Amino acid sequence: MEEIIHARGHEHVSAEHASTFEVTTDDYLTTAGDCILAIEADRAPADFDPEFVAACRDTDATITVTIEADGYTESVTGRGDPDLEFTSERSAVGRTSEYVDERTVVVGAAFAAEGFDRDLVAALADGAEATVTITVE
């Protein structure tokens, strides 16, 4: 199963955060948002299909987040958790930790914002259109 989010980069995308990465529906980004990879997302976790959400709540679920922009693609894999809420109407956050809140879509991610391909990050910093695909197996 998968969910797809369309968003865009922003000049302040730096992808320097060591424990999270985020895609937000906000239409702005400050330099403090060093985990944010894309803004103006057309969907948020609260919009995801209930069957998808249920699948992500399995501790054995493998969740992969793939971001594509300007010909560059990067995927990061983590896992599901029974406490995942998927209730945020604003942001989808991937975490290397086990922390869960309403924005969390994956825990135990292999890497965070700082681990994303630098060419992809540069394209996002140039404002490229981004496709974020979240799959659960």
Tell me: the pLDDT tens digits for 54-64?
999 999 999 99
Residues ≥6 apart with Cβ < 8 Å to 97: 19, 107, 108
Domains and CATH numbers, the chain: 2-136 (2.60.120.630)
pLDDT tens digits for range 89-99:
999 999 999 99
User: Which pLDDT does position 78 carry in this prediction?
Assistant: 98
User: Which pLDDT does position 89 carry in this prediction?
Assistant: 98
Give the Cα-Cα-Cα angle 15, 56, 47 (nearest 5 degrees): 75
Beta strand 129-136 with 62-69 is: antiparallel
Burial profile 8-30: b = 16 or more Cβ within 10 angstroms, e = fewer = bbbeebbbebeebbbbbbbeebe
